[in-house]
Each structure stands twice: as C-alpha cells, then as structure tokens.
Amino acid sequence: MIETERFQKTALGGAEQRCIDPACGARFGLNERLYVCPSCGGLLDVVLKAANDTDPRTLRAVWTSRLASFDPHDRSGVWRYRELLPFAGDTPIVTLAEGNTPLYDAPVSAAYCELDGLTLKHQGCNPTGSFKDTGMTTAVTQALILRARTVVCASTGNTAASLAAYAARAHLQCAILVPRGQISHNKLAQSLDYGAAVLELDGNFDDAMRVIRELAEDESIYLVNSINPFRIEGQKTVAAELLQQRDWRVPDHVVVPGGNLGNSSALGKGFKELKDLGLIDRLPRLSVVQAEGAAPFASLFGSESDVLTPIEHPQTLATAIKIGAPVSWQKALRAVLESGGTALSVSEQEMADAKAVIGREGIGCEPASATTVAGLKQLVASGVIRSDEDVVAVLTGHILKDTDYAIKYHQEELYTHDRTSGKTKEERRLTGTYSNPPARVKATKAAIVEGLRRHEQEHSGEA
C-alpha cells in the first residue's frame, strides 16, 4: 500500500509529485522541496488523483456558485478552482485576486487573420499585468508551506514583477536575477516598487537560469522559475476559467506564445485534467508561436529530431520570449502532440504589425503576446486552421509592459537586433505598417480640426 500513502490530501482527493520521464516515473510527496527528479534529473509533474465520487456536474455547479462569493479563495480566478490544485482545502493562501481575466471578442484581429471570428483571453489583465500571477499565487503559497525565507527567480521581466509582488504580500525576501539591460523598463520598475532585491547579471536569461539552479541547493531558498511544478499548477487553472467563460464549449484551437514553455505546458495539463475528470469530452488543439530569432521549439517541430537543440544567442525584441533553452520543452511537446496542435515562428515585422492590430481592437498587449495573432495569420493562410473554426488566442502581457517598443513602432524607430546579420541599421528598421505617430499642432481650433482631418485621411482603409 506504499503507493497510495504518498498521495497527500487535497480538496479533490490526493496528489503527489512524479518524474515525467516514463522510464523513471519516480514519485515524491508534495512537500519534498524538489525542482527536478533526484533520480534522473527529469522534470516533475504534480499528479492529481480524484476521489472516486468526483462528479463533473457538481464541480461545475460549485465553481459557478463561487462567482457570487466574496471569500478571497473564491474571488481568486485560480483558487476558485481549488479542486484542481495540489493543496489541502484549508491552506492559507497568498493571493492578489489573480485570474478573472476577460475573454474578448476580437473582430479586427479576426479579419486580419482571415478568420470569421476570434476571441482573445487576456492574461495581461492580471494584478501585475501578466499571466505569471496565476502561477505565482500557488508557488508562493507553497514557499510558505515549505517555510522558505527567500524566494528567487531568473526572469526576462514578467516573472520578476510577479514574484516580487507575491513575495511582498507573503513578507518573504525576494531576489530577482535579470540579464542586465535586457528587460523592459516597465517590468524593472515593478520589481523595484514591490521591494525585491534586483540583481542584474552580465549574461543572458539562460545564464541566469544556470546560476539559479546552483543557488537552489540552499535550504532557506525556494526557487520559483517555471521549472517549479507548483507554478504550472496555478497556471493550468486558466484552462478551467476559459472553458467556464465559454459555458464549457471547447474551442477548436488555442494558440499561445512560446518562451520558456511553462504556459503551454500548463494549459495543456489543464485541458487534459478537465477531460480526465469528465468536464469536457475533447481537447482543443494547442499551438505554440515563437519569435523567429528565439524559436528552438518551432525548429524542433520542423525537424526529424525529438530532442530540442538550444539556441545560444536568442534574438527578438519581444524580451518576454527571448529564451534559447526553454526549460519546459518536454512538457510542452507532450501537450502539443497529445492535442494535435503545432509550433511555428513569426518574424519581428509580423509580430510588430499584429501587435498594432490588437491595439486597434482597444485591447493591446506586449510584443510577445502578438506572436499569437501573427501565427494565426500564417496558420489560416497555410490551411492548417480553417476560417470558420473556433479559435482562442492567449495574450500573456499587458500593453504597458513595454511602452518603449510601442512608442518606437509608432514613430518608425524600431530596429531589430540582428547585428550579426551584416544588415545596415536602415535594413534593420521595422516598417510601421499600422503606425500612428503623434502630430504636433498649434493650439488653435483650426489647427486641431485640420489635424483630425489629416489623421482620418492617413488611417482610412486600415484595420
């Protein structure tokens, strides 16, 4: 009976940590402070085991009833689905009322992609402006359970901002390792305001990841990168929230940006568990879109190989996904293959234009998020997705996450970074296909009327 004893009690039944390598399959308790399998070095999954009397109709009804509750556990769009989480029902939680993000109808983006319709799930509407908050609430809650004193992450910016905020809420010391000069000012500003120790490293994100694994050997430190299985657990609840918002109608396709690939892994796990529990009867096809200069996962899809080859010097203006050695690629691969989805990459120009189109919806997003709409345009053009299919794109970050990028695009001063390509600066300039630069006018009524007329003329016939 040793098998069942390792399962620790949760709201749904029980859960344990398990190595994802089927050849190993080592199993561990939830409160063992692990990041990778000590036997083989593989990634760890949290595996849930539902109680025998779990009824999908009861779960749906409970989750719906919680929408009318003011209890902080119910107000959170993550903890509302606590039956899916590896925590006991009475766990004290660290929450900022994360989740609860809107599902927007996006006709302008749909027309741009030549789709009949498109909905955008905007994870940038979380408390710190990115999808990371849904995983940070569970990871920092776990840090308290493990009695950590310090939480640490390496980050391209969004993880740092999110961890800094949740650590502050939990009164934990927070250390952020960021590649110097390579994250957006907006994200840096957040981490500073939330009181984190921001340590700028000489090197890129992948170097920061390497150092951090060494740090994690210290018992008082808890590592909160996407390798952490408890972050994936919080992030997977987005699948439940998305489906509940759609009255449990499963979309044909869900498209996500790909950086470290924790988000695609989490969504895939979320949909799969909901199917296993009988809440849905099929999986949406999950597809991942990367930036062309940082696309090791998309390259893996186009190749014969089944092992990801890291990229040593990833290049993209979308700093959130400027990652050459994504730690969660095996989990993401499993999720994409199981759902029948795909992976692809888009150019800097395609991403920049798609971002401006999403802006014209009155929605907006950070550059990495726009890979989704740019990728959809390709997938429809190549016939992988039919124009009448039901598609959801996940936007991962708020437009205010990278204001420098937006302003430069609209002033046509956005340059790609591929200095090694031998291109001149002018050749590296991105075209402001949908640019909307500010105009300087005299402070008179006539000048303003003329300015409006000119603006209308210049933008007539656009998206």
Nearer to Zn ion, 24 or 103 (CB): 24
For residue 73, the minimal CB distance to Zn ion (Å) is 33
> Would you say 55 and 83 are in contact if contact means Cβ atoms under 8 Å apart?
no
Nearer to Zn ion, 24 or 111 (CB): 24
Nearer to Zn ion, 21 or 450 (CB): 21
Q: Considering only CA atoms, give the Rg of the chain.
A: 22
Sign for the pseudo-dihedral over CA of 391, 394, 398, 399 = negative
For residue 15, the minimal CB distance to Zn ion (Å) is 18
> Would you say 109 and 120 are in contact if contact means Cβ atoms under 8 Å apart?
yes
Nearer to Zn ion, 36 or 463 (CB): 36
Residues of the shown chain interacting with Zn ion in the complex, contacts defined by CB under 5 A: 19, 21, 24, 26, 37, 39-40, 42
Nearer to Zn ion, 6 or 60 (CB): 6
Q: What DSSP line would sit under 1-68, residue for residue?
A: -HHHHTPEE-SSEEEEEEES-TTT--EE-TTS--SB-TTT--BEEEEEEE-TT--HHHHHHHHHHHTT
For residue 333, the minimal CB distance to Zn ion (Å) is 17
Nearer to Zn ion, 34 or 384 (CB): 34
Q: Where are the alpha helices (DSSP H) in 340-461?
A: 348-360, 371-381, 403-410, 445-459
Q: At what angle do helices 371-381 and 348-360 cross, to 10 degrees?
A: 110
Name the strand (E) or helix (H) holding 9: strand 8-9
Backbone angles phi, psi at 197, to 5 degrees: -80, 110
Q: How far apart are CA 257 and CA 1, in angstroms?
A: 43
